[in-house]
Structure 1
Amino acid sequence: MEKDTNLAKNSNGIGLSALTATVVTSSIGSGIFALTSDLAHAASPGPALIAWVIVGIGILMLSLSLNNLVMKRPDLEGVFAYAEAGFGRYAGFISGWGYWLSSWLGNVAFATVMMSSIGYFFPIFKSGQNLASILVASIVSWILTYIVNRGVESAAILNAIVTICKLIPLFTFIVFAIILFKGNLFTAMFWNNVSGHFDGGQGIAMQIKNCMMVMMWVFVGIEGAAMMSSRAKKKSDAGRATILGLFCLLLIYILASVLPYGYLTRGQLANINQPAMVYIFNDMVGNWGGTFISIGLIISILGSWLSWTMLPAETMRLMTNRKLLPPIFGRENKKKAPTFSLVLTGFLIQLFLFTLLFTEKAYNFAYSLCTAAIVISYIFVAAYQIKLSWTHIHEEGNTKQLIIGIIAIAFQIVGITLAGLQYVLLCFIAYIPGIFFYAKARKDNGAAHALSKSEWLITVIITAGAIVGILLLVFGMITV
């Protein structure tokens, strides 16, 4: 079953440093620029640091699982392929549909933060979710869809510009945050709750729980190198790049999110305008700082938005190739772009953008849904890691891989349960039309039944979850 992928080289492929950069740049989108305020809402610096350790270990286990699977199953393409290989076609569809949902929901989060950044220069866009913001974001969304439909995939020079625009503002912010750091301010309310009182164990645990969703969101994209493994010079580079990229991300995220606790109080950080980094840096160095971060953020988001416009369409194309969706979803134009999938995804983004008029915290809602959707795919990755390791438990190293898989799946399940199970229920609503398309694909490919008995059972569970989600929404038990 296994190949010696370390020996298989592609002289024209992507090297280790480029793959590591892919992991970093695909994960760093808009989240880090808003991270400090979101984190200050959730916790004081002590619980936040503990939460970073927990999330770091959990994401490390996921990264090690991806590393192992890339090496053991180089024949599989796309994260959802692990679910199909391990648990059947319907599992592959559930994982792939979740990954597709996450991809375009992430673009909605990009839109709200980008408009808030433009609001630094033009106050009419400051909220990021009024009618003016939504109209401009819609125009940008359709322009990017048009560009991708014309066959523009990725250009090295564009990616280099975007990477610079992401990292230079971040490093500049971190340097000034270190210089202006006040140790006494940082330690004054190290464990305290939002009212300024010391929290016992239960209160600290609640603060850690409150950090989980925002921290899991900023690691969406950690699978970037695994997705590019077929183009790597060496397969082993894809796995190493994932681990190196993770440690780079942890260092950047922890410094950028925790150092501001030593510059402003938690209350000030929690109530600062979004994107928080823009206004914190403005306070640190003056107006040029806010301008500097805002310009870098806008260019950064446009680059990420372009990449994540391609990703959902590419996911649908791969699922069509695996006969998990009807052929129309993978139909390509003369430029080899999947036009139908691009337009469908663009329409859904447009629809969701207009719903933000009625959403209290648009950015938080969008990234919470995005994270919940992709966790479904990550759970299948960890589950296949467990199954593959258990199947070959007699082989050297697989006991360790089994433990890694168990920790990875436990982290994803516990994390999403504590931080946002209600968002998973809302994602189930979006699975209903997807199941219809999956059933149609099965019938078109000669299956005797649209769904098997086990698939019907899972469909009933998903539908029941969707109904519960709708009821909770209607009765105000889920706030958006």
Structure 2
Amino acid sequence: MTQPSQQTFALPTLTAMVVGSMVGAGIFSLPQTFGRVTGGLGALIAWGIAGGGMLMLAFVFQTLSRRKPALDAGVFAYAKDGFGNYLGFASALGYWTVCCLGNVSYWVLIKSTLGALFPVFGDGNTVIAVAVSSVGVWTVHFLILRGVREAAALNTIVTVAKIIPILMFLVFVGFGFKADIFAANFWGGADAGGLFDQVRGTMLVTVFVFVGIEGASVYSRYARKRSDVGVATLLGFAGVLCLLVLVTMLSYGVLLRPDLAGLRNPSMAGVLQAVVGPWGAVFISVGLIVSVLGAYLSWSLLAAEVLFSAARMETMPAFLGAENRNKVPFAALWLTNLLVQFFLIMTLFAEQAFLLALKLTSSMILLPYLLVAAYALKLAWSGETYVEKPEGRVGDVVRAGLATLYTVGLIYAGGLKFLLLSLVIYAPGTALFILAQRERGHRIFTPVERLLFAAVAAGAVLAIFGLATGRISI
């Protein structure tokens, strides 16, 4: 039996992976999300900070793809190489958990959108909604099992399809833009609070819409040319940033801020309806479903790839490194979708726990990003990889330093509560790390890692105690 040839992705496919991963449900909710907490000036400042911080992170991924070409698993591989096995594992576990929870939220959002037309779907967490979502989960699962290249090709098609309604939204809203309404929204109004509070209120929102910037880096082992990884990251980032800013700012010229804040999500539908009539809401709802399905495919691929790569680098249990004859990491894919299925079922019985898990995604994704930025800073500061190629070292120090400060600032903005609650996932998840170390005969923890795990476990206990006593609330 002949073996499949090595699959490779060209620059357009890698760029589509970045765009497909980043453009999900978040962009369709921006008018209401921003309108609830800030005016036009606060939004511009927030996007300036977020865009600058994420641009530095995009440069970090580009630099690392050149400086460390052997590390072809992206986020996880950089953390492991820079800070040891346990922090590398934590990065992989956190990133994988974010992927799984994001996938669950996509299905819930699709069924909630359909619930406006078909009450049987409710808010996306009825028995019928979960059943239909489960069919979707396993349909995509078996599609991916046929081959990563086929799934990636479909992702490219879906990415193009979901950008079209967003572009059409920008055209129609651009024609309906009113300067007097934009001016009235510019300062936010007396009920919006001070400018600092307005900006801070939007910062964690920007984390969600930028998650996926590392899409090309995660798939760097498939890149036809290594240089395409960094280029795809920057191209995808620049394109998505333009879309995010335009959707947000043009909406301030259509409806007054209180009206934007009161829109039902997906709030882009309400904005377009205000310009063109009821058909605009339907048009955006269809675009949302296409967009979310495309993002779901991207994140399913990313989740399985993270587990597979972690297993191949001996940080996850070995069985997760198994591939089928189509070179698909089937064991990692099965574990991913079993967890997605479990969380879907839990939405029937534990809505508050599910919402809590969704809120944790913003906190959990920041640790992998922080470790990547800190790794790039460590390389540039120490001079590793710069002996033979010293060009650009000072610039790399500055960019990596700014990316590190940005991610630390976001962790601070998220608050201690969500940092503690994220440890509730990291602590028990460490069992996978212990299993992986034991089956390979490795020492489980170094002395420093032992102290780190003790702190993680203590934080998890503290968080559970806080939840039980009511001192920590959702």
The alignment's TM-score, normalised by the length of structure 2, stands at 0.90
Q: Name the structure 2 match of 1:379.
A: 370
Distance 2:238 2:37 in 1: 23
- Give 1:360 shift: 6.2
Q: Name the structure 2 match of 1:178.
A: 174
Q: Which amino acid aligns with 1:370?
A: T
1:127 equivalent in alignment to 2:123: yes
1:64 equivalent in alignment to 2:64: no
Residue aligned with 1:137, SS = helix
**RMSD value over aligned CA atoms?**
2.5
Against the structure 1 CA distance between its residues 146 and 234, is the aligned structure 2 distance closer, same or farther, given a 3 Å change threshold? closer
Q: Name the structure 2 match of 1:472.
A: 466
The answer to whether the 8 A contact 1:278-1:290 is kept is yes
The answer to whether the 8 A contact 2:200-2:413 is kept is yes
Distance 1:264 1:327 in 2: 55
- Give 1:399 shift: 1.5
Against the structure 1 CA distance between its residues 266 and 74, is the aligned structure 2 distance closer, same or farther, given a 3 Å change threshold? same
Distance 1:280 1:478 in 2: 36
Does 281-290 or 268-277 show the bigger shift? 281-290
- Give 1:335 shift: 4.5
Distance 2:341 2:415 in 1: 24
Distance 2:416 2:150 in 1: 35
- Structure 1: which 5+ runs fail to align? 1-11
Q: Name the structure 1 match of 2:16.
A: 21
Q: Which amino acid aligns with 1:322?
A: M
> Superposition pairs for residues 435-474 of structure 1, below 5 Å?
435-447=430-442, 449-474=443-468
1:168 pairs with 154, 164, 169, which one?
Answer: 164
The answer to whether the 8 A contact 1:117-1:126 is kept is no
Does 296-305 or 128-137 show the bigger shift? 128-137
Aligned length, in residue pairs: 463
1:271 equivalent in alignment to 2:262: yes
Q: Which amino acid aligns with 1:66?
A: F
Distance 2:395 2:95 in 1: 28
CA deviations 1:241-280 (Å, max 9, x no partner) are 2222222111100111221121112222222111112233
CA deviations 1:369-408 (Å, max 9, x no partner) are 2232221111111111011101217733212111111110
> Superposition pairs for residues 297-336 of structure 1, below 5 Å?
297-336=288-327
Q: Name the structure 2 match of 1:141.
A: 137
Residue aligned with 2:41, SS = helix
Does 342-351 or 382-391 show the bigger shift? 342-351
Q: Name the structure 1 match of 2:31.
A: 36
Distance 1:136 1:91 in 2: 37
Q: Name the structure 1 match of 2:50.
A: 55
Residue aligned with 2:456, SS = helix
1:414 equivalent in alignment to 2:409: yes
The answer to whether the 8 A contact 1:61-1:405 is kept is yes
The answer to whether the 8 A contact 2:57-2:400 is kept is yes
1:76 pairs with 67, 71, 77, which one?
Answer: 71
- Structure 2: which 5+ runs fail to align? 1-6
Against the structure 1 CA distance between its residues 217 and 161, is the aligned structure 2 distance closer, same or farther, given a 3 Å change threshold? same
Does 14-23 or 429-438 show the bigger shift? 14-23
- Give 1:425 shift: 2.4
Does 144-153 or 110-119 show the bigger shift? 144-153
- Give 1:345 shift: 2.3
- Give 1:366 shift: 5.5
Distance 1:281 1:213 in 2: 25
Q: Which amino acid aligns with 2:161?
A: C
Against the structure 1 CA distance between its residues 86 and 160, is the aligned structure 2 distance closer, same or farther, given a 3 Å change threshold? closer
- Give 1:476 shift: 4.1
The answer to whether the 8 A contact 2:380-2:396 is kept is yes
> Superposition pairs for residues 76-225 of structure 1, below 5 Å?
76-78=71-73, 79-125=75-121, 127-151=123-147, 154-155=150-151, 158-193=154-189, 196-197=190-191, 199=193, 203-225=194-216
The answer to whether the 8 A contact 2:60-2:400 is kept is yes
Q: Name the structure 1 match of 2:242.
A: 251
